[in-house]
Structure 1
Amino acid sequence: MSETRVGVDVGGTFTDVVLHTGDGGLVTAKVPSTADQSVGVVRGIEAACERAGIDSREVDAFAHAMTVSTNAILEGDGATTALVTTAGFRDVLELRRQDRPALYDLDAAKPDPLVPRRRRFEVDERVTVDGVETPVDEAAVRALADDIRESGAESVAVSLLHAYRHPENERTVASVLRDELDVPVSASHEVLAEFREYERTSTTAVDAYVTPAIDAYLGRSKPEVTERGVPTPRVMQSNGGIASAETVREHAVTTALSGPAAGVVGAGDTATSVTKKDGLVTFDMGGTSSDVSLVRDGEAERTTDAEIAGHPIGTPMVDVTTVAAGGGSIAWVDDGGALRVGPGSAGAEPGPACYGRGGTEPTVTDANVVLGYIGPDASLGGDLELDVDAAHDALAALADEAGLDDALAAARGVYRVANANMTRAVRRVTVERGHDPRRFALVAFGGAGPMHAGALAADLDVDTVVVPRACGVLSAYGLLAADEKHDAARTHQVALAEADPDAVAAVYDDLVGDVLADIADPDAASVTRAADCRYAGQSFEQTVSVSEFDPDTVAERFHAAHESAHGYRLDDPVEVVTLRASATVERDPLDVAYAGRDDPVTGTREAFFDGAYRETTVYDREALAPGAELGGPAVLDGRESTVVVPPVWTGRVTPDGTVVLERGDRE
């Protein structure tokens, strides 16, 4: 019998839980998120254990995804942070890059730096790419520590010039400050040992900014779960792998996209084997936003060029594009009379009008109620009773404001606008990066994703939609399937033709040592190596895999990768810029038992398709047996989500309960 695992993903509206029992049973739960996220986590675990009929002390492993880091950045309530940098460079965070958020808007504002100028301190030292020119004075750093203490800083970021290559001075500064101050200190050579000073400084500042929040949350959560017999959580990182709570506390910035990364991992785990497409477009529509990503060759696409709220983060993370279009997104009319959806959200409290908790503003969920996709007997989140009249009233008010005929017209408009927002996000990760979406399957999950997937697929000319069994809580499911993963990188810039294989091997040895240091059993880990390369003169890189460092092989891989991404290759010299290593410890695959039940049809209801209400067959999603087939229009009601099958689409149920939908009008 395998171990019993529980995964908990905290979202803006709901906290999702998946419990996998030792005998292959899969139990899900969804509870409203709470201001103190640890409260919702405990409630979710208790709800799942109660449904499974087990005591929480029977749980063997606990994996957790959270929004603590993201919320701290988005809401601007992270730690009071100080920055220590080389004399003359205190304004790097303020200067940023020369690009503008809106090219022709002379008044376009960039976000305020996470560290204001009054808490940015300078230290006399100088390092070049060739080595240390001016050593740092430890006595001066100790005196600087007094100024930092008086500033009220709760955390410190240290980012000195060229510390990615020669960290001696930065190591001294960080060591002294750790001795003198009782606050966390983030050093750039430990956080991101890569060139590009602004991005390295920004990433280090983000790490310092969110570290106290992560540390406090994990410290607060641990006794809450351990007193119920649940193991200390292992935490999902932005790179798609889990790590121990202790490791995450030391590298808090790695949790910036914890939840979305878990969803992509879950999509890849459940959908890769049920379709013969080139890859997967993952589509996660939750209560506040929608996240879109790609999975190719069974692996989630990753990036080191991401931003959250305008703050660059250079650590590896799953490449996710987010749009403010979720089930709770509020619909409104702009000054020009156009219907808009988002970015404002009704959240969990009071939530959409149909929640019956006092919300009156129209949302995407309310539109789905009016369109008949969500039935009057639906129990949203497991314990919320639907208020259909409130949804109609909210959409009717929106119709009056927008000059539309009635609530139905407003609902149709909201549904189409939300879909258009999400379609653009899919095009950004496919068409704009040289991928044809028609060659991919769309994997729909999140509480609202399967209701919109068919319409999105039709707009994109995609003919296959995959809806995993745990689609409403797939990020939580992904936590159970995720491997342990650690990354390390170091800039080592050299012309590929002039690269010294021994010097490169030495850097790789150091990186491998770094990634294995965080693993309890290094012998169980598999290690991969990669290199960021570019043509001489370029300012962007392509990452290629490296087994044994052979310049000719690396060059050919780079040429092929560049041609795939940009449509051409050059005869120009190739440079190596950054070397990377990753260590992965694979988890045992989940063995999920699924049988379905008899009589999956629960009735019919009127739902809106192709310009009119149509009588639509309603199924109990959990009752559909493996091998079952169905045709649209249909609605599959589940505990945490609803699947809408439009006309001309058909569906089949796989042995693990996944529903694969195919469009019948494709040529």
Structure 2
Amino acid sequence: MARIGVDVGGTNTDLILETTDKDSIGKGVFEHKVASTPEDQSIGVMRGILEICEKAKLDKKEIELIVHGTTVATNISIEGNGAEVGMLTTKGFRDILHIGRHKRPHNFSLHFDVPWQSAPMVKRRNRIPINERILPPHGEIERPLDEQEVRAAVATLKERGVQAVIIGFLFSFLNRSHEQRAKEIVQEMMPGAFVCCSSEVVDVMREYERFSTTAMNAYVGPATYNYLTHLSSELRESGIGADLRIMQSNGGVATVESCCERPVNILMSGPAGGVIGGHHFAQLDGEQNIITVDIGGTSADISTLSEGEIQIMNPRDSYVGGYPVMVPMIDMITIGAGGGSIAYVDEAGGFHVGPRSAGSVPGPACYNRGGTEPTVTDANVVLGRLDPDEMLGGDLNLDPELSAWAIKEKIADPLGLTVKEAALGILKIVNNNMALAIRSNSVARGVDPRDFVLMPFGGAGPVHGPALAEEVNAKAVFVPPAPGITAAAGLLTTNLQYETTRSLLCDLDTISDENMTRMHDYLELLEEEIIGKLRDDGVEPENMRLTRLAECRYYGQGFELRADIPAGELTREGVKEVIKSFHQAHETDYGYCFENAVVELVTLRVIGNAESRKLAWPLSEEAGPDDLAKAFMYERPTVCDDGQEHMTPRYRRKSLKAGQRIVGPALLMQHDSTSFVPPGWSAKITKHGNLFISKDQ
């Protein structure tokens, strides 16, 4: 079964094709890159799919699965060009989306912006209150839904040209009947509009985060729906009958239909693939503690994986574009630091790099596409760390004179520096920015980078790896075999996965028979929902894996931690196991627990997944005595971080074999990226093709 992973980045769209013995060309792995097309990502995706099939000499009809990591929803949330959204909400709570939680991003500053107020996803005029009321703790109806008010509100929204409508009523997570009825009325009066209820998108307590998440779902919904359905039809029209799956923020994949209903689940689709890919390649060589740094054209995505486990972000910390989004996401942070990040001198004479990026068009100055501002890529070209005639294996010819000119005009001359000094400064600043982000994702959380290997990938990652490792004191650098397409490779190593939740507030230590019954019934309903989704995807019952979780807190705490629920029939002994699991989770996260304190259940969550076939990366042959000489390409002068110029050999990385040791300075060249081995460092190829770079002892 031939499979393709497609990951869309800010500059390039990366593809990987895996074939098996059952395909016409036999077993193999093929890599490819094309320029991203921000105006319509599907253009670059389709071009890449057709070109990689042609490159492999594979009939496109043999493709059975395409897994796609996309930034469509992400870009909408960041650029603020989503749909015009209307909202029906409980009377008296119209301004929840504006008030938020009174959080100050900068406690001691009067000059800050909160996007939910300055750029609301739902304008106040389009938030219309409706008479209805449901009461806690069990969802009794105190005031029935006023359907006439709903119809009048929908007519107003329709007249205003609203494209999407959300329904967010108070306590709907306890009883969704009012939201469901209001949705039926909206769909009846506004056929074709994007409509969603808060109880469908994120069925949990905390109305502000629930409303905000639902608003984001609708804000990105119409454009995401149009993109995914358009791509599906483009594939069919091109004669490709493959199943299309989309990477979700939680690291699992889902169907197009599911992602069209809940596009909020794919807000971090693109970066998630990189973490999954990095984890896969690290596991091949037994590396358990890794810090992944995915450096592309516009951003750097950083995640810390301890003991081989991919971490899921706490919902209280989940923000996208400045808005709280309470959906499961891989724990990572993103900063504006990439190959296309623009260097500039501000009005006060300050030297900055990023977060603004040149992207793929016009791109860095050396691309000769009209860009005139110096970027990180231009700095690497000027310093000889990227060879202009070897970018993308020679498919992308760069003009080094344009790089030197841009740095001289915009940085060197204004600051009274030489071009070389300015280029070194650009790299120093961008590396420091990334190092600060790495520390915030590791040291600030009690993780010691000295026990971790730094794993840089993405097109721009490996050339920065050693400098970053030295900056954060990581023990070594670990570069996957195809760093430029690691995110795409990750798409072929992830599982089909769905999650669903239900709120239930009760004390577990003294849980009543009534709440025990509720807990049992809710878990059954959640399991049935997940099993139905997996069954619709063609998964056999014996291949389904269900995980049951209780999100709990000590009585009086503001947020929850996840605790495991034992499999099988839920009993009081099982509840005791949940309490014990919560104490352990609290000990792990905070360093202490209160074993005599009351534990409160807040939310039940069921995660269902089905194991997928993992990408079978070919093993590397053992190195012979003459293999290093055979891999040698040429040597050129390269400026290192100390400002000294060294005559540096270039080696073709794919010609290097297992056990081969390369002494720095050296550049290891491949189609999708370049790895830098500084003086005083050496590199070694593992049997799985990974590159291990460490300081000489």
Please confirm whether the aligned pair reaches a TM-score higher than 0.5, indicating the same fold.
yes
Alpha-carbon distance in structure 2 between the residues aligned to 1:148 and 1:244: 31
CA distance in 1, matches of 2:666, 2:489: 25
Partner of 1:582: 607
- How many angstroms apart in 1 are the aligned matches of 2:659 and 2:236? 41
The alignment's C-alpha RMSD in Å is: 1.8
Aligned-residue offset at 1:661? 2.0
Residue number among 291, 297, 301 corresponding to 1:281 in the alignment: 291
For residues 295-327 of structure 1, the C-alpha deviation after alignment (integer angstroms, 9 at most, x for no partner) is 234432112231111111101111120111111
**Larger mean Cα displacement after TM superposition, 557-566 or 614-623:** 557-566
Q: Which residue of 1 aligns with 2:636?
A: 605
1:113 to 107, 120, 126: 120
Pick one of 187, 192, 205 that aligns with 2:202.
Answer: 192
Q: State the match for 1:514 in structure 2.
A: 529
Equivalent in the alignment of 1:26: 29
Q: Which residue of 2 aligns with 1:592?
A: 617
SS of equivalent to 1:498: coil
Distance verdict in 2 for CA 1:457–1:88, change over 3 Å: same
Aligned equivalent of 1:330: 342
8 Å CA contact 2:489–2:615 kept in 1: the answer is: no
In structure 2, the residue matched to 1:446 is 458
Matches within 5 A, 1:477-492: 477-492=489-504
Q: Please, which moves more after superposition, 441-450 or 380-389? A: 380-389
TM value normalised by structure 1: 0.96
Q: In the alignment, what sits opposite 2:179?
A: 170
Q: For residue 555 of structure 2, what is the aligned residue in structure 1?
A: 536
Q: Equivalents in 2 of 1:516, 1:648: separation in Å?
A: 55
Q: Output the CA distance in 2 between the equivalents of 1:405 and 1:123.
A: 64
Alignment of 1:158-237 (within 5 A): 158-182=167-191, 183-230=193-240, 231-237=242-248
Task: Spell out, residue by residue over 1:454-482, the C-alpha distance to the aligned partner (whole angstroms, 9 max, x if none).
Answer: 11111111122221112101111111111
Distance 1:285 1:443, change over 3 A: same
Q: Is contact 1:275–1:441 with CA below 8 Å preserved after alignment?
A: no
The answer to whether the 8 A contact 1:457-1:465 is kept is yes
SS of the aligned residue for 2:5 comes to: strand
- Residues in 2 aligned to 1:475 and 1:629: alpha-carbon distance in whole angstroms: 27
- Provide the residue aligned with 1:78 in structure 2: 82
Does residue 65 of structure 2 align to residue 61 of structure 1? yes
Q: 2:303 aligns with which of 276, 282, 293?
A: 293
* Residue identity matched to 1:242: V
Of stretches 99-108 and 60-69 in structure 1, the one that deviates more from structure 2 is 99-108
**SS at 1:449's partner residue?**
coil
Q: Which amino acid aligns with 1:91?
A: D
Is residue 2:399 matched to residue 1:387? yes
Shift of 1:559: 2.3
Query: Which residue is 2:584 aligned to?
Result: 560
Aligned to 2:384, the other structure's residue is in SS state coil
**1:477-502 superposed Cα distances (whole Å, 9 cap, x missing partner):** 11111110111112222222023444
Partner deviation per Cα, 1:274-310 (whole Å, 9 max, x = no partner): 1444x22111001001000122344321122311111
| Aligned equivalent of 2:312 | 302
Match of 1:257 in 2: 268
Partners of 2:394 and 2:284 in 1: CA distance: 30
Q: Is the 8 A contact 1:129 1:166 kept in 2?
A: no
Cα gap change, 1:381 to 1:208, in 2 (>3 Å): farther
Matched, 1:125 2:123: no
Asked if the contact 2:637–2:645 (Cα under 8 Å) also holds between the matched residues in 1, the reply is yes
Structure 1 match to 2:155: 146
| Pair 380,402 (structure 1): closer, same or farther in 2 beyond 3 Å | farther
- Per the alignment, in what secondary structure is the counterpart of residue 385 of structure 1? coil
Structure 2 counterpart SS, 1:102: coil
Question: Given the alignment, which residue of 139, 145, 150 partners 1:136?
Answer: 145
- Which amino acid is the alignment partner of residue 653 of structure 1? I
Alpha-carbon distance in structure 2 between the residues aligned to 1:5 and 1:626:
27
Cα distance in 2 for residues equivalent to 1:522 and 1:193: 27
Distance 2:532 2:384 in 1: 54
Contact 1:59/1:229 (<8 A) preserved = no
Change (3 A) 1:647 1:93: same
The equivalent of 1:504 in structure 2 is 519
Question: 1 CA distance for matches of 2:450 and 2:489?
Answer: 27
User: Is the 8 Å Cα contact of residues 248 and 265 (structure 2) preserved in structure 1?
Assistant: yes
Q: Distance in 1 between matches of 2:554 and 2:204?
A: 18
User: How has the CA–CA distance of structure 1 residues 195 and 401 changed in structure 2, closer, same or farther, with 3 Å as cutoff?
Assistant: farther
Match of 1:342 in 2: 354
Distance change in 2, residues 1:296/1:507 (3 Å): farther
How many angstroms does 1:594 deviate by? 4.9
The structure-2 alpha-carbon separation of the partners of 1:326 and 1:506, relative to structure 1 and needing over 3 Å to count, comes to: same
Q: Greater shift after overlay, 589-598 or 250-259?
A: 589-598
SS at match of 1:518: helix
**Distance in 2, Cα, partners of 1:107 & 1:416:** 29
Give the aligned length: 662
State how far apart, in whole Å, the 2-side matches of 1:638 and 1:162 are: 56
- 2:566–2:578: 8 Å Cα contact kept in structure 1? no
Q: How far has the Cα of 1:627 moved from its partner?
A: 2.9
Looking at structure 2, the residues matched to 204 and 238 of structure 1 have their Cα atoms a distance apart, in angstroms, of: 16
Report the more deviating stretch, 591-600 or 385-394.
591-600
> 2: distance between equivalents of 1:504 and 1:660?
49
Distance 1:126 1:290 in 2: 45
Q: Secondary structure of 2:492's partner?
A: helix
CA contact (8 A) 1:531 1:579 kept: yes
Indicate if the aligned counterparts of 1:356 and 1:385 stay in contact, CA closer than 8 A. no
Identity of aligned residues (%): 40
Q: Which of 397, 400, 407 is the matching residue for 2:412?
A: 400
Code of the residue aligned with 2:102 in structure 1: it is Q
Contact 1:333 1:401 in 2 (8 A): no
User: How is 1:627-642 mapped onto 2 (pairs within 5 angstroms)?
Assistant: 627-642=659-674
Residue 643 of structure 1 aligns with which residue? Answer: 675
Q: Does 1:662 align with 2:694?
A: yes
Gaps of 5+ in 2: 21-25
Q: Letter of the aligned partner of 1:623 in structure 2?
A: S
